[in-house]
Chains A and B, each alone.
Chain A
């Protein structure tokens, strides 16, 4: 189940980053310490009984590059507010794309958020894939399931 989830996560993030951000990432390499990530964008998917939280944890320079590619600027021209807006939109697209691939219906997409990466995601129910760009571990995509009570 986890391998299937990871495969789907890889397809989702690749499709979004390649289509709208012109960035090709891969998933093979040496993982950095989680403390190397600077920011996280999050978005929730909910239905009547479940919630999935999708987190996109990234290093700052990768977030800047993502934003620069999206709006057509140089990395150094990207302002923090712009980077935040783009990273939230990225989470929105990753969440929507992920939702479209889940077999079960009636999921609703939440509002994306963005902030400093706080770490601490080692629970067994969490599924993650590490993101590599030009050989460097630039981020991680995480799916955290919750039970709605």
Chain B
């Protein structure tokens, strides 16, 4: 099965790197869409089918928290898996993101090889507890 992925980050370069990383990691990607902030992400969702959102937190216009809140408000988006890819390390803020519905987070910098297995865990087991990642925790 291929997943349509929406990458949300205000850095065009980071979006490019995440997209490339997804493909070379072997993760089964169908369409890989982009948005520069949460507002643009919602616009994409209005017209495109998305299976997974990878989003930064700190973005202008509508940040990661705002995006999570907006997704919760619409029934067709409420169960859409969102994984944050972020430099945020404040545990309170990360827990806030999880309570808003994020399925997990990946801290930057990240090694490309951890992406595939981590995302497969996220998408393959809806009953699993929320997952965080740093390199020490990831099994290969």
- Which residues of A are interface residues toward B (Cβ below 8 A)? 15-16, 19-20, 67, 70-72, 82, 85-86, 88-89, 92-93, 95-97, 99-100, 105-109, 111
Contacts and interface: CB of A to CB of B under 8 A. Distances in A.
Interface stretch (B44-52, B65-73, B106-114, B118-126): B106-114
Interface of B: 11-14, 16-17, 20, 58, 86-91, 107-111
A111 B58 contact: yes
15 contacts: A19-B111, A20-B110, A71-B16, A72-B20, A92-B11, A93-B109, A96-B86, A96-B89, A97-B89, A97-B109, A99-B87, A99-B89, A105-B90, A107-B90, A109-B88
Contacts of B58: 92, 109, 111
Q: Which of A67, A92, A97 has the most CB of B within 10 A?
A: A92
B72 to A, nearest CB: 24
Contact of B108 (A88, A93, A105, A111): A93
Contacts of A70: 13, 17
B107 A96 contact: yes
A97 B135 CA distance: 14
Contacts of A71: 13, 16-17
The 3 closest A-B pairs by CB, nearest first: A96-B87, A100-B89, A19-B109
B17 A20 contact: yes
